[in-house]
Structure 1
Amino acid sequence: MLMERKNFLKIAGLASVSVSTPGLVKAMLLQSEPRAKSLFDISLAEWSLHRHIFDGKIDHLEFAETTKNEFGITAVEYVNQFFTDKVNDPSYLDEMNSRCDDLGVEQLLIMVDGEGDLAVTDQQKRIEAVENHYKWVEAAEYLGCHSIRVNTYGDGSPHEQKQAAVDGLGRLAEFAKDYGINIIVENHGGYSSDAQWLGEVMRQVAMDNCGTLPDFGNFCIKREGGARWEGECVEEYDRYQGVKEMMPFAKGVSAKSYAFDKRGQETTIDFKKMIQIIHEAGYNGYIGIEYEGDALSEFEGIKATKKLLLDIRAQLDAG
């Protein structure tokens, strides 16, 4: 059934290649004609606008237009929960492709949550979670994305969860390989925020299309009461060491930001130090803005993060 769907998407795309599936065309062109890059390019993670989207001020289909016209950014990173009910609708994906093609906006990846735990020790549940992600791999290919971002949540001891993660990621990466899609893991709480643990997972999976998405934040391994997101952090990994250890496997980078001082510097994270780590690792792909602060509005927070990234890039280019 899944192979039938894959073939349908490909046939439908090739049959109307100039109109309905520009994402596929764009992906093919990018593979054959690499674009010249500076130290890095800037993309925008859709979560940066989650309040506007949840409040109905911006529709998911308007995300690319907002990204281009409001912020001058021409690459987007999607969040799956904003179009979960449309993932199996080719006409909706066609509309996403058409709008991005008209705008000259590149679709990079889909951040996938809520599809089950890929590192749960129960094999049946783990396989079910893997299969739940298949539709997002297919959608990513259809949109011309290079990756889907997944989580390695699970249970058991660090070793047990590691073995489960290796199995879950390996199964999903094997499926995604035929679609030309990467499976990338963000440090997103729990053991995934332990960069040594995650690095060992990557080494054991040992597949070219399985990698990481280092995030400047999210290095809390354990919170009070065992909650995933709520409560005080009681065990935290060093963020700079963590990004450094994740970079050998990186297929994207997430520039998390929270607040800024009067000089435009991020007050929680030393962005210049982070960018230097990324630069020294030889990475020159996209760095995605993911603003999560409260002091500035989402629009102003995105603009402040972009300005800081551009300032640092200019300094490194000049130096």
Structure 2
Amino acid sequence: MDRIGLTTVVFRNRFASTKPKNQVLEDELTLLSTPEYFVDRFKVHNVEMWTPHFESTSKNYLKELKRSLKKERCKLINLQSEGKFDPSDPLEENRLKAVIEVKNWVDVAKSLQCEAVRVKSMKKSYSKAVLSLNEITKYAKAKGITILIENHSDLFSDYKNHTNIIKDVPLNNIGLLADFGNYSSNPVMFDSLKHIAPFTRLVSAKTKDFSNQMEHIPYDFQKCIGIFEASGYQGIYSCEQWGKANPNYDYEKITDWMIDNIKESI
């Protein structure tokens, strides 16, 4: 289980901040209760947290969250950061605001002894993304934090941009986060994953839609893992699910499925 992680994104319907508006909140989760839940239910100690799930970033809240992680012997492997602004925005005022947003999450990561921060999606200008990421990564390096760039249905879903960013931001604390989804087609996805695998520091082992028989419909999940194993990747596969809203889904069963399939493939 050392190479398996889990993100709070999977259980977004159980967080007050991200549940569907028309859905009653049941079996509520909070970040403070997440470490115990992940360990007790799934035996997973590698935790990823989605920043919309933070109830606060106050010093007292972060101390309590750090305590919760430590109690369960959990490692916070990544903060999946979001924000109002795009670091690739050509409008300088907005770009600078985006940089500040990410830096603030770097500070939170430092407080929690988290290993990395994933930058939010960047959809506008590659050159502006490079400018922002150089500044963000330099700031994060001083804090001992790795900056992760994901193929996030954005500029970096083009594998050429995704791999070039390593060259264009020449610091050793930047790496790629590889997501199994977020490509235009399966052939593009499989080809792109092969190109980005050598530069990948964390894999978002994402599933999408399932049949009633618990068959993963969109693509071959184990084939994706095989691409990274063949490349020599030795890092963590963090379980994630994001697909069409389906009130019949049992997200614990989906998580069990992901864990079992990762175990079979590594």
Which TM-score applies when normalising by structure 1?
0.74
The alpha-carbon deviation at position 138 of structure 1 amounts to 1.0
Q: Residue 264 of structure 1 contacts residue 308 of structure 1 at CA under 8 Å; is this kept in 2?
A: no
Q: Distance in 1 between matches of 2:149 and 2:215?
A: 28
Matched, 1:174 2:146: no
Secondary structure, aligned partner of 2:32: helix
How far residue 306 of structure 1 moved from its aligned partner, in angstroms, is 0.9
Greater fraction helix: 1
- Which residue number in structure 1 is paired with residue 46 of structure 2? 75
Kindly state the Cα deviation for residue 292 of structure 1 after the two structures are TM-superposed: 2.5
For 2:171 and 2:82, the matched residues in 1 are separated by 22
Secondary structure at the residue paired with 1:251?
strand
4+ residue runs over 3 A deviation: 259-265
CA contact (8 A) 1:193 1:237 kept: no
| Equivalence for 1:278 | 228
What pairs with 1:120-135 in structure 2 (closer than 5 Å)?
120-135=89-104
Does residue 98 in structure 1 map to residue 60 in structure 2?
no
RMSD, aligned α-carbons: 2.1
Matches within 5 A, 1:16-55: 41-53=3-15, 54=19, 55=25
Structure 2 unaligned blocks of 5 or more: 20-24
Q: How does 1:256-295 map to 2 (within 5 A)?
A: 256-260=206-210, 266-293=216-243, 294=246
Indicate the residue corresponding to 1:25 in structure 2: none
TM-score scaled by length of structure 2: 0.88
> Cα distance, 1:261 vs. partner?
6.0
| Pairing partner for 2:152 from 188, 191, 202 | 188
1:58: which partner in 2? 29
Is residue 219–residue 237 contact of structure 1 (8 Å, CA) maintained in 2?
no
1:296 and 1:117 mapped to 2: Cα distance? 32
The residue matched to 2:5 in structure 1 has which SS? strand
Matched with 2:203 is 253
- In structure 1, the residue matched to 2:251 is 298
1:265–1:308: 8 Å Cα contact kept in structure 2? no
5+ residue gaps, structure 1:
1-37, 156-160, 221-234, 314-319
| Contact residue 50 and residue 79 of structure 2 kept, 8 A | yes
Q: Is the Cα contact below 8 Å between 2:110 and 2:145 reproduced in 1?
A: yes
Q: Partners in 2 of 1:124 and 1:133 — Cα distance?
A: 15
Counterpart AA for 1:81: P
Correspondence for 1:150 among 93, 115, 119: 119
Identity of aligned residues (%): 24
8 A contact 2:207–2:221 mirrored in 1: no
Cα distance in 2 for residues equivalent to 1:131 and 1:236: 35
Specify the structure having the higher radius of gyration (Cα). Answer: 1
Q: Deviations over 1:211-251 (max 9, x none)?
A: 2110001114xxxxxxxxxxxxxx88711112222222211
Residue 201 of structure 1: which of 165, 171, 184 is its match?
A: 165
Residue 45 of structure 1 aligns with an amino acid whose one-letter code is: T
Residue 147 of structure 2 aligns to a residue whose secondary structure is strand
**Cα deviations by residue, 1:161-210 (Å, 9 ceiling, x for unpaired):** 11111101111001111001111111111222111122222221122111
Q: What is the CA-CA distance between 1:47 and the residue it aligns to? A: 0.2
- Please tell me whether residue 162 in structure 1 is matched to residue 126 in structure 2: yes
Q: What secondary structure sits across from 1:211 in the alignment?
A: strand
Q: Distance in 2 between matches of 1:166 and 1:78?
A: 25
Amino acid at match of 1:41: R
| Cα distance in structure 2, aligned partners of 1:267 and 1:152 | 25
**Which position in structure 1 is the counterpart of 2:76?**
107
* Rounded Cα–Cα distance in structure 2 between residues aligned with 1:122 and 1:129: 11
- Provide the rounded CA distance (Å) in 2 between the counterparts of 1:163 and 1:254: 25
